[in-house]
Amino acid sequence: MKKLLVLALVLILPFMAFAQGGGETADDDTFRIALIIENTIDDKGWCQSMHDGITQAIAEMPDMKIEYSYNEKMLPVDAGSIARQYVAEGYDLIIAHGAQYKNLILEIAEEYPDVSFAFGTSSEIGPANVFTYMPESEETGYINGIIAGTVTRDDIVGLVGPVDSGDAARYNRGYVLGVQSVNPDAKILVAHTGSFSDYVKSSEVATSQLGNGADVLTGSSQQAIGALRATAESPTAMWVGQDLAQLTTAEGQAKCIAASAYNYAAVVKELVAKITAGTLGGECIPMNFANGGFVFDYNPALKAEWVTPELEAEVQTAIDSFIADPDGTLANWADVDYSTL
Amino acid sequence: MLDIITNMLSMCIPFSVALLLASIGEMFNQRAGVFNLGCEGVMAMGAFIGMLIPFMAGGGGAVSEWYNLLGFVAAAVLGALFGLFFGLVTVTFRAPQGIAGIGLQMFGVGTAGTLFRHFVGGTQSIPGIPDIDIPVLSRIPVIGDIFFSHNAAAYLAYLFIPVAWYILFRTPWGLKVRAAGTSPRAADSMGINVSRVRYEALMLGGALAGLAGAYLSIAQAKMFSDTLISGRGFIAVALVYFGHWHPAQIMGGALLFTLAQTFQTIVQSMGISFPYELAVMLPYILVIVVLSFTSRNQITAPTSLGKPFNREIRT
């Protein structure tokens, strides 16, 4: 028994020598942000947009000493241990990027009332140390819908959604409203893959829609990359994107007329400002064009060919209206019924 | 309406190939008496290596078709090696096949994702292989779109079905495989090296699973991400039961599953008032229903499926 204890101690000692309590070594001047994501920081979609937002926010706050750490591929069942590890290491803000982390965050937040947590997308108002954020992505969908409804030649456009909930549902319905605003006769094909990350299924759905005549497609979340790849196989079909990272891909450069994206930098800066001012949570931070939560850009390689001055003006008018009245312009987005399309 | 139906049917052949290849591979495994739940992991590795070769050769741009072929070959070889490894664990060490299969699945998916991040980085695409319109035949209305306008790998995969049938039912090796899965004790008494046959079947099954993964990354999605397989390996295992361990019936199952998949997409896209969640579930429900209503006397499962063979122990 003694030998076993000695052996165990010998094995554990090296780890103890290198172990350090994060909280004890924490520099009080440093603001620590941790990110927990279910995919990767370079997925050209949901997770990358938050990672990019955090790094951009850090770059835009040069006066603050900010330490940033992330953990990829964290399923909700696994994320609890890493979140507690971040708490132990003295992190000030722990962002679990996805509504699937809601229960986990609410549970841990109760255990650690002095640490600030955030999760989204959600429009719920959380406890005093939990922030939520909600992209009002019907705005970006509407912009892309205007473009799709205008440039379609056969008056058939497609939409490859992941699931019909959260910001994806808002984006999809905004897209429908955008198409209908400029082309009421257009047929809009809407289908969901049931997954945020099944690239093959999204490419199959896109192929199906292309085969049924759609000549402009869109999609949201990381699964949309599969649909974009399928669109690139078509000699004539085009794409409007929900993430600027799509413009950086080969098929995006060839097919994506324009893309909008979430600018999480605005959210992160607001979170940091609120926490340093003493507010640890209890608020939902909306993301929209008015507060800089969205960015939009055309593909420079395709703009001259596909975007007329009239279309560009139409898009700008819509963005201006969102900025002027973020709550009212698309208040009816939830009324869109796909079965009537 | 005819256009919609034609479009739906024309997607069945190319979209069913990955399931078909993986199922046929799993059929060889199970016919030899080994139940390999690790198919998903082998497919992930095949998809990774299959995409990596043309990607490295062309940096994501156009490459010679030889690199795509090399990708398929590498996926088959890697799959066979995974089959060999699985054989070591389950045939030589006689580990429980179900648990070992789950381990292989996790190992394959995890390794593929890790290596992909190291060698490639974020989600990337490749030009892949194009569709080929077979002269004259592809111009036949309706039939041409459904049968004669697909990529070369899809044609080869379907041509392999009669070959698989011939191997299984008309060659001495096929007889040994069936004997090893049905009555390994009797096979052993007839001088058949059961372990060796099981190893060979696992390597063939692994090679086909690797090819199935490579088909997804080179011919269908033309990209790789570590979620690319998304459960298709498990569906392939279910299709073996669905198809009663027979190549032709497995092909029917793969086509039926894919038809249900494309049908639900059409249902959604046409704006038919039907909850999309149910539509997405439709192919899986179909498999469960068909399996449930399969008459017991039609089931021809290898009787020693999942049972390790030890010639020193008489049971």
Rounded CA gap, A57 and A268, in Å? 6
A158 and A98: one domain? no
Whether B311 is in a domain gets the answer no
pLDDT band at A221 (very low <50, low <70, confident <90, very high): confident
pLDDT at A1 over 60: no
Rounded CA gap, B242 and A90, in Å? 54
pLDDT at residue B60, rounded to an integer: 73
Q: What DSSP assignment string belongs to B226-273?
A: TTSSTTHHHHHHHHHHHTTT-HHHHHHHHHHHHHHHHHHHHHHHTT-S
A116 and A156: one domain? no
pLDDT at B287 over 90: no
How large a percentage of chain B has pLDDT more than 90?
A: 68
- Stretch A144-149: mean pLDDT: 97
A186 and A131: one domain? no
pLDDT at B295 over 70: no
pTM for the whole structure: 0.85
- Sign (positive/negative) of CA torsion A200, A202, A204, A207? negative
| E strands present in chain A | 30-36, 65-71, 93-97, 116-120, 130-135, 156-161, 187-192, 216-219, 238-241, 256-262, 283-287, 294-298
Between residues B290 and B189, the one the model is more confident about: B189
pLDDT at B173 over 80: yes
Number of Cβ pairs < 8 A linking chain A and chain B: 111
From chain A, pick out residues whose CB is under 8 angstroms from the CB of B273: 339
Average pLDDT, chain B: 91
Which range marks the domain in which residue B55 is found? 2-298
From chain B, pick out residues whose CB is under 8 angstroms from the CB of A229: 125, 221-223
| Structural domains in chain B (count) | 1
Instruction: List the structure tokens of A333.
Output: 């987005």
From chain A, pick out residues whose CB is under 8 angstroms from the CB of B48: none
Between residues A158 and A46, the one the model is more confident about: A158
A147 and A282: one domain? no
**In the beta sheet, which residues pair with residue A60?**
none
A216 and A129: one domain? no
From chain A, pick out residues whose CB is under 8 angstroms from the CB of B220: 200, 203
pLDDT band at A249 (very low <50, low <70, confident <90, very high): confident
pLDDT digits over B238-248, tens only? 999 989 999 99
Structure ipTM: 0.86
Whether A238 is in a domain gets the answer yes
Amino acid at A236: T
Q: How many helices (H) and strands (E) does chain B have?
A: 12, 4
Considering CB atoms only, which of B113, B265, B281 is closest to A204? B265
CB contact (8 A) between residue B265 and residue A340: no
pLDDT at residue A21, rounded to an integer: 40
CB contact (8 A) between residue B125 and residue A158: no
pLDDT at residue A70, rounded to an integer: 96
A132: helix, strand or coil: strand
pLDDT at residue A17, rounded to an integer: 45
pLDDT at A68 over 90: yes
Whether B313 is in a domain gets the answer no
| E strands present in A148-206 | 156-161, 187-192
Average pLDDT, chain A: 88
pLDDT at B193 over 90: yes
- Cis-peptide into B90, omega within 30 deg: no
- Phi and psi (nearest 5°) for A230? -70, -35
A241 and A334: one domain? yes
pLDDT digits over B65-114, tens only? 899 999 999 999 999 999 999 999 999 999 999 999 999 999 999 999 99
pLDDT digits over A153-206, tens only? 999 999 999 988 888 999 999 999 999 999 999 999 999 999 888 999 999 999
pLDDT at A230 over 80: yes
Q: Token pair 């929900």 is at which residue?
A: A242
pLDDT band at A339 (very low <50, low <70, confident <90, very high): confident
Provide the shortest C-alpha distance from residue A190 to chain B (in Å).
5
CB contact (8 A) between residue B225 and residue A249: no
Rounded CA gap, B191 and A58, in Å? 71
A315 and A328: one domain? yes
Residues of chain A in Cβ contact (below 8 Å) with chain B:
39-40, 42-44, 48, 73, 158, 164, 188-195, 197-201, 203-205, 207-209, 211-213, 222, 225-226, 229, 232-233, 249-251, 338-341
pLDDT at A82 over 90: yes
A109 and A148: one domain? no
- Give the residue from chain B lying closest to A207, CA to CA: B11
| Structural domains in chain A (count) | 2
pLDDT digits over B45-54, tens only? 999 999 999 9
CA distances A69 to A50, A86, A261, B119, Å, are: 12, 9, 23, 23
- Stretch A52-72: mean pLDDT: 94
Which range marks the domain in which residue A158 is found? 138-261+296-340
Whether B309 is in a domain gets the answer no
A50 and A25: one domain? yes
Instruction: Write out B171-218 in H/E/C secondary structure.
Output: CHHHHHHHHHHHCHHHHHHCCCCHHHHHHHHHHHHHHHHHHHHHHHHH
Whether B304 is in a domain gets the answer no
Whether B222 is in a domain gets the answer yes
pLDDT at A33 over 80: yes
Q: Token pair 């490639």 is at which residue?
A: B120
Considering CB atoms only, which of B216, B228, B271 is closest to A339? B271
Whether B177 is in a domain gets the answer yes
Whether A309 is in a domain gets the answer yes
Return contacts of A275-279, CB within 8 angstroms, 24+ apart. Answer: A275/A31, A275/A92, A275/A93, A275/A116, A276/A31
pLDDT at residue A8, rounded to an integer: 58
Provide the shortest C-alpha distance from residue B4 to chain A (in Å).
6
Provide the shortest C-alpha distance from residue B303 to chain A (in Å).
35
The per-residue b/e assignment along B256-277, b for 16 or more CB within 10 angstroms, e otherwise, is bbbbbbbbbbbbbbbbeeeebe
Task: Name every residue whose Cβ is closer than 8 Å to that of residue A278 and which is 6 or more positions away in sequence.
Answer: none
CB contact (8 A) between residue B125 and residue A249: yes
Whether B307 is in a domain gets the answer no
Between residues B55 and B63, the one the model is more confident about: B55
pLDDT at residue A191, rounded to an integer: 93
- Stretch B125-131: mean pLDDT: 91
Interface test with A, best of B11, B227, B280, B281 (most A CBs within 10 A): B227
Considering CB atoms only, which of B7, B221, B273 is closest to A212? B7
Alpha-carbon A154 to chain mean position:
31
From chain A, pick out residues whose CB is under 8 angstroms from the CB of B280: 192-194
Whether A15 is in a domain gets the answer no
- Give the residue from chain B lying closest to A157, CA to CA: B269
- Stretch A53-76: mean pLDDT: 93
CB contact (8 A) between residue A194 and residue B276: yes
| CATH code, domain carrying B233 | 1.10.3470
Interface test with A, best of B111, B265, B280 (most A CBs within 10 A): B265
pLDDT at residue A262, rounded to an integer: 87
A83 and A208: one domain? no
pLDDT band at B315 (very low <50, low <70, confident <90, very high): low
Considering CB atoms only, which of B10, B117, B276 is closest to A211? B10
Between residues A253 and A10, the one the model is more confident about: A253
CB contact (8 A) between residue B122 and residue A43: yes
Instruction: List the structure tokens of B165.
Output: 């049938």
**In the beta sheet, which residues pair with residue B132?**
B150
How large a percentage of chain A has pLDDT more than 70?
A: 92
A174 and A210: one domain? yes
| CATH code, domain carrying A203 | 3.40.50.2300
pLDDT at residue A15, rounded to an integer: 44
